[in-house]
Structures are given as C-alpha cells and as structure tokens.
Copies of this chain bind each other. A is one copy, B any other.
Amino acid sequence: MVDILHQVGVAGAAPKEVYDALTTLDGLAGWWTVDTAGETSPGGVIEFRFGPGGMDMRVDELDEGRLVRWTVVDGPEEWIGTTIRWELCEEPDWGTLVMFWHEGWREPVPFMHHCSTKWATYLISLKQLVETGAGAPDPNDLKIVNWN
C-alpha cells in the first residue's frame, strides 16, 4: 500500500473556514470541481464529476474544524476503496495548516503519479479559495498533461 501526502497552509483563516470548504457542496465546488453534488453529512455520498471522469466519496468521519475522512466508493478502479483524510490545525498568529493523505493505493502506478501532482494543484486551489474567495476548480483547474 502506498500513499499520497500533501500539506498547505491557509493564511489568515481559522480551521473552521477550511473545514467549511471541505464539508459543504458550495465549498467543495469552489476548489475541486464545480460539478459537485450529493450529501455531505456522515454516511452520505458526495459525487464529484470532472471532464475526464469522476468519483463518489462516502463521508466516513467529520470532526468540526479538525478532521474530514472519506472513502472512495466509485470512480477510477485504482481509487475504489482508497481513503482521503484531511486534518486541520490552527497555527497561532498565522492561519491553518492543512495535512492531507490519500491512502491505500495498491500499486504506485503512473496514474498515482498523476493524481499526486493534481492533488497538489487542488490543495493550492483550496488555499486560494479560502484566502481570496476564488479557487481554481475543474474545469478551470491547472492542467498538467494533455488530457488533464
């Protein structure tokens, strides 16, 4: 099993502001993909759709202002059964540190390389959304290869 790890800091924001961007349809649509629908409460399934495809995430655990955990229940074969974890931590006099894990990949396939770099661009989009009010969700995300 191999994992994708990332981190960004969000300046001038409390953990609750980042948490809202991870736990509401409007928030998620503001940094990941504009085509976001579904149910964001625990046990619900959120449907994220992108140009090249999409995935459904079950919300496993929410701890307000601290933690968000999802399991991928549909989407690319390599993603199904993997888990996404977000941990938020207040950085005094500065903002919020966002720690990220996409865990449980079976093999370090080329698609994992792609998703790792794309996740970084989306975390930066999340940072920009909370800091400035405008993120770069799909279809206006940063394309890193010819198909995505």
Contacts and interface: CB of A to CB of B under 8 A. Distances in A.
Interface of A: 2-9, 11, 91, 94-95, 97, 99-100, 108, 110, 112-114, 116-117, 120-121, 123-124, 127, 142, 144-146
B91 A146 contact: yes
Stoichiometry, copies per complex: 2
A145 B6 CA distance: 12
Nearest to A100: B113
Given A121-B124, A124-B121, A124-B144, A116 B8 contact: no
B112 A145 contact: no
Contact of A113 (B6, B113, B145): B6
Given A124-B142, A142-B124, A7 B97 contact: no
A133 to B, nearest CB: 19
A4 B7 contact: no
Contacts of A3: 2, 108
Contacts of A117: 6-8, 120, 123-124
Contact of A9 (B95, B100, B146): B146
A4 B145 CA distance: 19
Contacts of A114: 7
A108 to B, nearest CB: 6
A76 to B, nearest CB: 15
